[in-house]
Amino acid sequence: MTSNFESDNQRAYGLLFRIEIALRELLRLEYERTCGGRWQRQLPPELSKTIKASQEAENRPQFDFLRLGPLYYLTFGDLLKVLQHKPVCGVSIRFGGDVFLKQLENLFAPRNAVCHSRPVSSVGLMAIVTLHAQLQTALTHAEFESLLAHPDVGLRQRDFATELLPVLREILDNMGTLPSIFPTLSAVDKASAQFWWADDELAGFNRATIETLAQTISGYNALPLGVGAAGGRQKYQEQHQLQKLTTEAIHELEKLDR
């Protein structure tokens, strides 16, 4: 029979998990909105060092770690610092500003109890329940669940191949029609942040081929539109040997998809 100690701590842990995932995802989205795709460079320098050290500690393929988004390598206390960082202070303002930050500070004690297998007090549990309900109300249930459903986690090599191969085959099949744009290779950006992208042996394929194709597709999609544009697209394909490059990229990823 489950004791109150166990059931209360399980409930507290589950709610804290949801609160922290939501905060990390809200901060990521706000950084992307205010700073663009290279938002990671805008993180406070001392926190960037913490993130890098934690990521390097996971560069051990035998443990099958996923490279998470940078905000997932920060402690709860670090998150409070980020919430006060100017580019993303809008997140805390959305939930009450200084009052909200104080509520988060009040979670330190019950959170430490839960993380170190000590009983969470009834007052501590209520503080967690209250803040979770506040977030869910402010975000709406649908937005809250969407944040939890799409955390900023990494890709394994095989998952990367499985995601990208259909896109590359579609590009190859449609190349002769000279489309105005090809699908973007967004999976490459995510994969390049993984620890296994450090070298070809870890990745299991020739990274340079994939990177070159991504850059070439990006250049193709930036070509001007309008009358006579098809000729320019044909010339670009021939100059960059796009068909050959795409075929080579497919061959490289098929090494992982077998």
Mean pLDDT within 120-125: 94
**Is pLDDT of 67 > 80?**
no
Contact in structure between 88 and 34 (CB atoms under 8 Å): yes
Q: Exposure of 114 by Cβ count < 10 A (0-12 exposed, 13-18 middle, 19+ buried)?
A: buried
End-of-domain residue from the set 149, 167, 192: 149
| Site of tokens 């995932």 | 21
Contact in structure between 127 and 15 (CB atoms under 8 Å): no
**What φ, ψ does residue 210 adopt, rounded to 5°?**
-70, -45
Same domain, 47 and 122: yes
pLDDT per position as a tens digit, 103-121:
999 999 999 999 999 999 9
End-of-domain residue from the set 90, 116, 149: 149
Query: What is the domain count for the chain?
Result: 2
- Domain limits at 237? 157-254
Same domain, 16 and 137: yes
Same domain, 92 and 50: yes
Query: Which of 238, 251, 178 is CA-nearest to residue 209?
Result: 251
**Six-digit token pair at 155?**
């890709």
Same domain, 191 and 142: no
- The span from the CA of 154 to the CA of 163, in Å, is 13
Contact in structure between 44 and 160 (CB atoms under 8 Å): no
Count of alpha carbons within 13 Å of 253, Cβ hemisphere only? 26
At residue 94's C-alpha, the angle toward residues 91 and 98, to 5°, is: 85
Mean pLDDT within 242-258: 90
pLDDT per position as a tens digit, 128-155:
999 999 999 999 989 999 998 888 777 7
pTM above 0.75, yes or no: no
Same domain, 116 and 8: yes
Q: What is the dihedral of CA 118, 122, 127, 129, to 10 degrees?
A: 100
pLDDT band, residue 38 (cuts 50/70/90) = confident
**Six-digit token pair at 146?**
């969407």
Residue 130 CA to its chain's centroid (Å): 28
| Site of tokens 């489309």 | 179
Same domain, 184 and 226: yes
Same domain, 38 and 134: yes
Mean pLDDT within 154-170: 89
Same domain, 126 and 220: no
Same domain, 128 and 161: no
